[in-house]
A and B are shown apart, each in its own frame.
Chain A
Amino acid sequence: MSCARIWTATLLCAWSAAALPAPAYAADLDVQVRGADGAPVRDAVVSVHLAARATPHPHAGGSYVIDQQDIQFHPFVAAVPVGASVTFMNHDPVRHHVYSFSPAKKFELKLASKQQNQSVLFDKPGIVPLGCNIHDRMIAYLDVVDTPWAKTADANGHVVLRDIPAGAITITVWHPYLRAPGNIVSRGAILSEGTAHGEKFAVPMRTPPHDPGTGY
């Protein structure tokens, strides 16, 4: 990890802690996402909305970055708060023509090689698939969410969301290859004050189409 990245991570974590002070009656939610075959589902976005209460608007401050390196977007899936400004940083020695035509955000960016400073404001919630007009194998997704509690699953399909107000909540799991309407499943849960609540999701996954990488 470079010094710049450590600095960025530290800054963002500090911002995260300061943005929404933990309420005394908060609880933690521990979610495990697996496929129907039991394999962990990496990059699933787990988000929480409060039930029968207004969900606070997320804080959109801070900076968010989608890297382009080795002809790939990094990360593959990212959850960002509505109103976030996301910077697209091209680390490749070749150019990228990034675009999306999603209802949540239509845009295109022409990123010359090693150009690092183009940003896009995501002002509507929704799924934003990202592509590159030059490299079709470059695929990524932004989940622009309207809740302060959202996170992508790690390599073990594991997510911990902290400091959620106790009471009824709705948990949503989204993944681009989740086999369900809208690629989404959700369920309700009740969080008890001061406890850690665990939930396990077993979700059916689709197999994406194949691209053997042949060209001409």
Chain B
Amino acid sequence: MGWNASFRTSSGRTGRMAVAAAFLCAAPACAADTPETGLLTAYANFDLAAFDGPRAWINDRDEIGGTGKARFGNPDGNSLRVRPYATEAGVVVQPDFGWALSGLVSVIAQHGQDKAVDVNEAYLRWRPLPFGTVHMTLRAGVFYPPVSLEHGGSEWPVVETVTPSAINSWIGEEVKVAGVEATFSTLIGDHRLSLAGAAFELNDTAGTLLTFRGWALHDEKATLLSYQPLPAMNGFMRNVQARETRPMIDLDHRVGWYAKLTWAPPGPFQIQYFHYDNRADPAAFDAELQWGWHTRFDHVGATLDLDGKTRLTAQAIDGTTVMGFPGAGNVRWIDMRYRSAFLLGTRQMAHGSVSGRIEAFSTRNHGSEVVADDDETGWAATAAVRWPLLRQATLLGEALHIESRRDARLREGVAPRQNQNILRLTLRLRAATRG
């Protein structure tokens, strides 16, 4: 008699999990997991940071932004400064409204931001059972577009490092939308496909920081009402542009859109293409002198698992942003092209992980009022260790080196070429309970 009726007691659970993990997403239609619902999460991040380099872009909210590229910078020059920080704390509520409808409200406080407490994300999510082989997810509210392959989790933390790449730092500081997003996922043969599209508003100023400050690497997040400081601008722009940019604002009532196609062929590989266009009117402005920036970009992201423990992640972005009135030759005040790419390797260890990342970034200006002295080129290298201490505590160590050149630094009397080093020891405390 051959029945394995006692399958429940068969060989070890760990082994079965490994098998299940090796055969992900087989028959039912598949998309990213729905976040856990019914949870109340509280978290706090503490840093011991050692840093040199120029004053950070967000160093002192009483002054204009610095020319540094990191979250911390030493205004005294190249000596190493060591400081403790309470960098971020927050509460995330994820209520259930039945089995298909859920919500997420994330409220955070961050060192360096002008709002003591503000909304990070807030949305409703509807995920009914699949229609045939197609799984649909709708969400509506305030959220980050699904670009980053480094972030994950309800409070949008960086998973394997402390500091995200330049690309995903920019997504966090300037590219957040209020809109409606639909995602459809299915399996075609052994290929998993997912198509997402969104219509949104409240992101008309995306591109402001990237133009005036350039790329940066930090874990600050734009919130619903926050303003971000800008560095010294040229004489013309100082008269027409507010000294701080507000990332989440609508100036022209034009609806922007983005679309994302993800393809997972058989094997340990996945690639995704993302296109964003905020359709902002570059001539729109308000009484604060916040302007519409018509920002578009194409983005490609991919992951490759070399084995069960080693993953390579890569992202590349190429976009433009345009602002101001047209002048001679129909050239607007600002017409800037930006590009960046990174490669991240992560090795899961018996306890935690080690990661290394290399990246490059650049901007090129072709506008009538902002020209080549605001161009920049740069690169950065990151090494990080993640070490879980307890279920509620994770320690991360990170070394970040950034080199960049930007002639516009001369406006603040800072040399165009800057090297920066930032060492961070970050303690993440996190507790979750079912509401």
Chain A residues close to B by CB (< 8 Å)? 1, 5-6, 8-9, 12-13, 15-17, 19-20, 22, 29, 42-43, 48, 58, 62, 64-65, 67, 69-70, 72-76, 78-81, 93-95, 97, 99-101, 108, 110, 113, 129-131, 133-137, 139-141, 148-152, 154-155, 159-164, 176-177, 206-216
Q: A43-B19, A208-B190 are in contact. List 6 more A-B contacts (CB 8 A).
A: A150-B4, A208-B23, A210-B264, A212-B305, A213-B152, A214-B152
The answer for the CA separation of A8 and B5 in the assembled complex, in Å, is 10
> Given A93-B434, A152-B4, A206-B266, do A215 and B35 touch, yes or no (CB 8 Å)?
yes
| Chain A to chain B contacts (Cβ below 8 Å), 19 pairs | A9-B6, A12-B5, A20-B1, A75-B16, A76-B20, A110-B99, A131-B28, A134-B34, A136-B34, A136-B135, A148-B1, A154-B10, A208-B22, A209-B192, A209-B264, A210-B266, A210-B303, A212-B270, A215-B153
The answer for the CA separation of A23 and B22 in the assembled complex, in Å, is 40
Instruction: Provide the residues of chain A in CB contact with B11, threshold 8 Å.
Output: 154-155
Among B6, B27, B264, contact of A129 (Cβ-Cβ < 8 Å):
B27
B30 interface residue (CB < 8 Å to A): yes
Chain B residues close to A by CB (< 8 Å)? 1-11, 13, 15-17, 19-28, 30-38, 99-100, 127-130, 132, 135, 143-144, 146, 149, 151-153, 156, 187, 190-192, 264-270, 303, 305, 311, 434
Interface of A is mostly: mixed
Among B2, B4, B264, contact of A48 (Cβ-Cβ < 8 Å):
B2
Among A15, A20, A22, contact of B5 (Cβ-Cβ < 8 Å):
A15
The answer for the CA separation of A151 and B5 in the assembled complex, in Å, is 9
> Given A155-B15, A209-B192, do A148 and B2 touch, yes or no (CB 8 Å)?
yes
| B102, closest chain A residue (CB) | A134
Instruction: Provide the residues of chain A in CB contact with B151, threshold 8 Å.
Output: 216
Q: Do B27 and A139 have beta carbons less than 8 Å apart?
A: yes
Q: Do A137 and B2 have beta carbons less than 8 Å apart?
A: no
| Number of interchain pairs (Cβ within 8 Å) | 217
The answer for the CA separation of A62 and B21 in the assembled complex, in Å, is 29
| A154, closest chain B residue (CB) | B11
